[in-house]
Amino acid sequence: KAADIECQMVVIGAGPGGYTAAFRSADLGMDTVLIERYESLGGVCLNVGCIPSKALLHSAAVIDEAAHAADFGVDFGKPKINLDKLREYKQKVVGQLTKGLSGMAKQRKVRTVTGVARFVSPNELEISIADGGTQLLRFQHCIIAAGSQAVKLPNFPWDDPRVMDSTDALELAEVPKSMLVVGGGIIGLEMATVYSGLGSQVTVVEFMDQLMPGADKDLVKPLADRLKKQGVQVHLKTKAAGVKADKKGITVSFESASEGQKPELESGTYDRVLVAVGRSPNGAKLDAEKAGVQVSERGFIPVTNQMRTNVPHIFAIGDLVGQPMLAHKATHEGKLAAEVAFGEKKEWVARVIPSVAYTNPEIAWVGVTETEAKAKGLKVGVAKFPWAASGRAIGVGRTEGFTKLIFDEATHRIIGGAIVGVHAGELLAEIGLAIEMGAEAEDIGHTIHAHPTLSESVAMSAEIHDGTITDLY
C-alpha cells in the first residue's frame, strides 16, 4: 500500500521529550513529522503537568507570603480568591507556551499531525486522525515519546467527578471544603499545597513512613512542619482501602501499612479526593510488537545509552523509558536520540538528574542522597548549613531551610547535594554543575558568592566541610 506520508524521522508524542527530539531532528536537516493525539503541543508537562501546577503554586505562594507579611508589619487582610481569574491565568500561561511550540514547529518545517499513532510494521505507523480516517506513514527513523499516565487505583469510582487525578485537580473546578490526597509524593504534595493555600482542609495519606520517599528524611521535615502549621493533616504508613461515594461525599476507609496494626485514621468523608500514587508508562499502547520493539510487562521500553530500542532505527525517550519521570530528563534524551539517529556518535553522559518539589518550602536534591550513600556503604562526608545562620533567610523570614553537600571522603569531590527552603529548585543548579565538573568541596568554598544571598549557603556548606567554618555564628 502506498504511504500517505513519507519521512526520514517521525516522533510519536509532543511532550518535552518529543518536541525537543522533533526540533533537533529538523534542525539537523531531517525531514520530520511529529504526531500528537491532542491539538495542543507540549504533552503532559505543558498542558497538565509542570507548567499549570507551577502557575497555581505561584498563587498559593503569594497567598502564603501575604498571610505572613503581617509579621513584617504589613497586613493584607484575608485574601479574596477569584477562581475564574485564577483558572484564566493558568490557561494563559499554558497557552503562551503551547502556542509558542506550534510556532517553533512551523518555523522548522516540522509537519505536525493530530492523531493517535500505532505501529503496523518496523517502518510504518497507522495514524487515526483526530478529524476522522486513518493515514499510513512510512519512516526511516522513529522516536517514541508517548509519555505516561496517572495510575488510577482500581477500587475508586472514577466516573464520579469528585474523585480526581492530577489532571482533574489542575482544572480547579472548585475549592472543596475538604480534600483527601492519596499519595504524599511530589505531585500529591504540590497539589496539597495549592488547595490548602486556596482554603481547603487537606488530609494527606502516604503508604511509606515518610513524605516524598526518595528524598532524605531530614529534607522533608521543614515541609512537614509547615504543612502542619497550615492545618494540613498528614498520616504516614496509611493506605486508602475502601471507598464509598454518596451525597455526603467520598468516604474512604484506611488501613495501616504495617500488618496487624490499627491505622492512625480509620475513615473520613471528603468533598474531593485526589489520587496521586504514581504514573504508568504508555509503552504498551502502541502495538510496538508489530515493529519488533520490546516492551516490559509494566509498559516501559528498554533502551541503550544511545536511546535505541532493540530495533536499531527506533528510539524511545522520556517517561516511557524509565524513572525519574521528569521533563528535563525527557528533553535531554530527546536531543540525544535525534542526534544519534542523524549519525552522531554520542551517548548519555549526564552524571545526575535533579529532582525538585515546588512545595512551600521547596525541596530539591541531586546526585547521591545521604540515605543512598549509607545503603551503599559509600565513604562520604556530609556538610549541612542551616539557614537559621543565613542573613538573607533571616531577612525574608524563612529560616527553616538548610543546604547539604555530600562529598567523597577521600577525594572531597561533590557527589550529591540537597536543599530545602524557598527557591531551593533554583539554588540546586550550582550543585549539579559541581557534580558534572567533578568539583571538590574546596572549589565551591573558594568561589566568592554574593552576600547576602541564599546561594551563599552552598559555599558555607562547602566551607563547613573543610573546617574553615566551625562556629556558625
Smallest distance from ligand FAD to CB 364, Å: 11
Cell of 274: 485526589
Among positions 142-161, residues that touch ligand FAD (CB under 6 A) are 145-148
Smallest distance from ligand FAD to CB 445, Å: 30
Assess 416 for contact with ligand FAD (CB under 6 A).
Answer: no
Instruction: Choose the catalytic residue: 141, 446, 451, 465.
Output: 451
Assess 325 for contact with ligand FAD (CB under 6 A).
Answer: yes
Question: How distant, in Å, are the alpha carbons of 30, 35, 47 from that of 42?
Answer: 21, 12, 6
Binding mask 19-38 for ligand FAD (x = CB under 6 A): ----------------xxxx
Amino acid at 20: T
Q: Could you tell me which of 342, 348, 303, 341 has the C-alpha nearest to residue 321?
A: 303
Assess 353 for contact with ligand FAD (CB under 6 A).
Answer: no
Which residue from 9, 10, 26, 49 is in contact with ligand FAD, where contact means CB under 6 A?
49
Cell of 235: 498520616
In contact, 431 and 405? CB cutoff 8 Å: yes
Stretch that binds ligand FAD, among 39-47, 132-140, 233-241, 247-255 (CB under 6 A): 39-47
Is the CB of 104 or the CB of 265 nearer to ligand FAD?
Answer: 104
Chain CA centroid to CA 441, Å: 28
328 is catalytic: no
Is the CB of 20 or the CB of 210 nearer to ligand FAD?
Answer: 20
Smallest distance from ligand FAD to CB 275, Å: 12
Assess 423 for contact with ligand FAD (CB under 6 A).
Answer: no
Assess 364 for contact with ligand FAD (CB under 6 A).
Answer: no
Binding mask 168-187 for ligand FAD (x = CB under 6 A): -------------------x
In contact, 184 and 234? CB cutoff 8 Å: yes
Which residue from 25, 32, 53, 457 is in contact with ligand FAD, where contact means CB under 6 A?
53
Binding stretches for ligand FAD (CB under 6 A)? 12-18, 35-38, 43-45, 49-50, 53, 116-117, 145-148, 166, 187, 282, 286, 318-319, 325-328, 330, 358
Catalytic residue list: 451
